[in-house]
Structure formats: C-alpha cells, structure tokens
Structure 1
Amino acid sequence: MTSTTRDTIQAVKRAISAARMETYEAACKIIGEESLAALELYAWNAKVSGALMTPLQVCEVTVRNAVADALDALYGPLWPWSATFERSLPAGPMVSTLRQARDGCSSACKVIPELSFHFWQRMFTSRYDVRIWQPHLLRVFPNLDATLPVCLTGRPFTETSSRSANSAIALRTMNPFSCGIWIEISSASLDWYE
C-alpha cells in the first residue's frame, strides 16, 4: 500500500471517526492494519442507504396517507380535532403529538405531514384492529393478502403459530414501511446479506 493510500485512509478515519470505522473494519475482519476494504464497505453502505431514501420517503407518505384515509372514513374530515379519535389514543405522547401537530393547522391535510412517523406506526397496534383496520385495511392497502386476518384476538407471536398467523402478526407489528422495503430487498436476491 502506498503512503498516499494510507494517508487517505487515515484522513477519512479522522473525518468519519475511528469508532465509526471500527464497525466496518470488524465486518471486513481487519485487525490493526490499514485496508481499503473497510472504506469500500463504508462507501457501499452510503450508496445503499442513499438508494433507499426515495423509496422510504414514498412509502412513508403512502402509509400515512392510507392511515389518514381510514381515519377520515371513521371520524370525518376533521379527524385530528375529533374528541372520539383523541380519546382512542393511548394517554401520553400520542395525544400530545396530535395536539402539537394540529396547533395552528386548519385542515387534516396540513396536520398529516406534521405528525411523526412514530405516530403513524402506532396506529398499527392491535388496539385499532376492530375499529379501524377490520373495516378499512383492505380498502386503504388494496394489495394486501385478503386471506390473512387483521387481528388474532390478542394471541402473541409465537414460533408455533401458523404461517399465515405469523405473517399477519409480522405485518401488524413491524414498522409498516420497513416491511415493504424488506420485501423489495429480499426479492432482489441479495446474496451478500447472510
């Protein structure tokens, strides 16, 4: 390795931090020596992360708009101001998040982007299965498998549950759009992910 290459590696380590690069060095099984492999892995990770940003953004907007559509159908176009909707939320952060998001807004379409993705994710918990998702899930997510149940009457996820039950629970408990991205990634047959 040339001194220029070694100097470049050291400069990048200083800029990114040695601790951050240790993660990539460990993945490349590099111990106590300078190698371009860790930098190449870091660059590859940055490219993959960058490539996922647009699909992730589209997925987030799609999910939040689908949830908002279901809420509109259930509570009306002013659902963010509905006392019934607010009472359906668990006490604490979700209520305060909703109140803060709607402060100064005059319509639901202005509130929707103000709510954090954590808020939208929490709308997929089992507490909303009967009221929101049984009547609206397949309408707002028309490509879901209609043969899978929306809820499983409170049964916890177990390794012994049926495959369709596991799929339904996984769909319901995972971050809704990470599930979609994982499906995209896994269908691409990325052999390097083992």
Structure 2
Amino acid sequence: MDHLSDEEIAAVAVLLSSERLSTFERLAGSNRGAIALHQEMLRLGASLMTVTAVVEIALRNAVCDRLTEHFGTADWLRRPPSHFRWDDELKGKIGLAESSARKAAYAKLTQEQKRQLDPVAFRKHGGTPPAGLSHEKVSKARQAAITVPMGQVVAQLTMYFWKRLFSADYEHALWKPALKRVFPDKSLTRAAVATQLEAIYQSRNRIAHHEPVYGRRLVQTEAAIDFVARHLGNRGHDGATPLEKLLELELNELKVRADAMRQRLAALQAGEPD
C-alpha cells in the first residue's frame, strides 16, 4: 500500500469501514497493513470462488444426470415418482427456484409478449387482468403462467440444496440407490462426502459475502476441494478424474495464493515488519 498517502489510507479505511478492517488490523498491526492484507484476502477469495464455482456446477450436473437415470424421468425435481417425496424444506427450495426461474424468464419478454400471457394468467376473468389489479399482482399472475424447463430451475438452486441431498435424511432414498455413483470410490461413505461438501459450502458463502477465509478454515476448504476433485466421477488411465484435470491450473493458482497467505500471516505473528 506504499502507493497510497496517509490521507488516502484514512479515506480507504472509511470506505471499507473500521468494523470490517478490525480483524485485519489485529493480524497486521496497522491500518495500512490491514488494508493490504484485506486486498490480499480478496484475491485469495477470488481464486477460491473460481474453484468452488466449478465444483458446484460439476456436482449439480452429476447429481442431475444420476437422478434422471435413477428416477427414469427428466423432471424428477418437480415431479418425482410417487414412491419418493422431498422433505418440506427442499420442496420449498424447489418452489422458490421455479418462481425465480419464471421471474427471470418474464423479465426477458417484451410488453407484447407479457400481454400474450393474459389468456392463461387470467382465464377466470376472461383473459384480461381485472380492473384495479396492481402492477405487481398482474406481473406475478403472468409469471405463474410461464412454463420453465427444468434446466432453468436447476440453475436457480443453490449449493445448499445440492449438499443437502447428501445428508442423512436421504441416505436410503438417494445415496444408496443413486448418489453414491456420483462418488464411485466404494470406500467412501455418505457422511464423508457430506462433511467435505459442507466445508466447501461454508467457505463459498463466506467468499460470496466478501468475508476472509484463512487459517484452519482455508486448510479444510483446500482439503475438501481436493477430495471432491479426486473423487467426483471415474478416474482415467492416468489416475485422475476429468474434474481434477479441468481444475489443474486453478488449483495450482489457489495453492500459490494460499501458501503466500500462510507465509504472510506467519510472518505477522512472528512480529516481522509488514
């Protein structure tokens, strides 16, 4: 932060807030050092987010493929077979995801295309919005008339949903008959997979809210990412999974940044000048 004057450092500290910088000040010992550490943590977070994003996408698509095969229907998410039921929480998540997908689709329509939804949206009113109905209610009724493909609903579901499928609640209904094939190593248990997904989920959320990931949490996250990369899918002749090879460059970059952060923090704790 040598390129910033003392006055600029003070101004930046206000922009970032003293509350946010307090953790970094405890580590760095000065306002200037705290700001420098804050920026370095964000760069590390960016590397983590790149990797966790790919892991999340790969996980959800692998799960979708496996459950489509298991249930024998492409729309297993919204219309699962009669012998299977979502718990209330996940059923609610699916409903919210579908509503969000409809809202996103509606936002892309022209005004004329939106009006063309009225015959379905207001069938009980002769295909016309009732007089005096608010704009918000008209929009919601029109959105409810939109049919969105499952892929758009899947895209609206968060990491929380996908990691919950590996919870004990679904061990017999999903893990044993289907999802253990997402992680084909027979030595792996559902609980082991769930633990690693939880670690990734927790750090992913911290990064999304611009919170730092370091120390033991960083080590656990790196281990969890490595676990998923090595075990999601089948390994090739070279002993690596396609996901592991896809993330090779990003994982190397993450390791470099993580090691640099560990060295930086160790130096600060040893009292070395920042």
Alignment TM-score > 0.5, same fold: yes
Q: Which stretches in structure 2 are left out of the alignment for 5+ residues?
A: 100-145, 202-219, 227-250, 267-274
Summarize the Cα distance change of 1:61–1:85 in structure 2 as closer, same or farther, 3 Å threshold. Answer: farther
Is 1:182 the counterpart of 2:222? The answer is yes
| 1:55 to partner: Cα distance | 1.2
Is 1:15 the counterpart of 2:15? The answer is yes
Computed over aligned residues only, the root mean square deviation of the Cα atoms, in angstroms, reads 3.1
| 1:85 to partner: Cα distance | 7.2
Paired position in structure 1 for 2:160:
118
Aligned-pair identity in percent equals 24
Paired position in structure 2 for 1:146:
186
Instruction: Determine which structure has greater relative contact order: mean sequence separation of CA pairs < 8 Å that are 6+ residues apart, divided by chain length.
Output: 2
The answer on whether the counterparts of 2:163 and 2:194 sit within 8 Å (CA) in structure 1 is: no
Summarize the Cα distance change of 1:120–1:74 in structure 2 as closer, same or farther, 3 Å threshold. Answer: same
Paired position in structure 2 for 1:26:
26
Equivalents in 1 of 2:187, 2:66: separation in Å? Answer: 20
Aligned residue for 1:147, secondary structure, equals coil
Tell which structure's C-alpha radius of gyration is larger.
2
Is 1:80 the counterpart of 2:77? The answer is yes
Equivalents in 2 of 1:23, 1:124: separation in Å? Answer: 34
Summarize the Cα distance change of 1:10–1:170 in structure 2 as closer, same or farther, 3 Å threshold. Answer: farther
Aligned residue for 2:178, secondary structure, equals helix
Equivalents in 1 of 2:196, 2:83: separation in Å? Answer: 23
| 1:107 to partner: Cα distance | 2.9
The answer on whether the counterparts of 1:66 and 1:141 sit within 8 Å (CA) in structure 2 is: no
The answer on whether the counterparts of 1:67 and 1:123 sit within 8 Å (CA) in structure 2 is: no
Count of aligned residue pairs for this structure pair? 166
Q: Which stretches in structure 1 are left out of the alignment for 5+ residues?
A: 151-168
| 1:136 to partner: Cα distance | 2.6
Amino acid in structure 2 at the alignment position of 1:51 = S
| 1:8 to partner: Cα distance | 2.1
Equivalents in 1 of 2:151, 2:168: separation in Å? Answer: 25
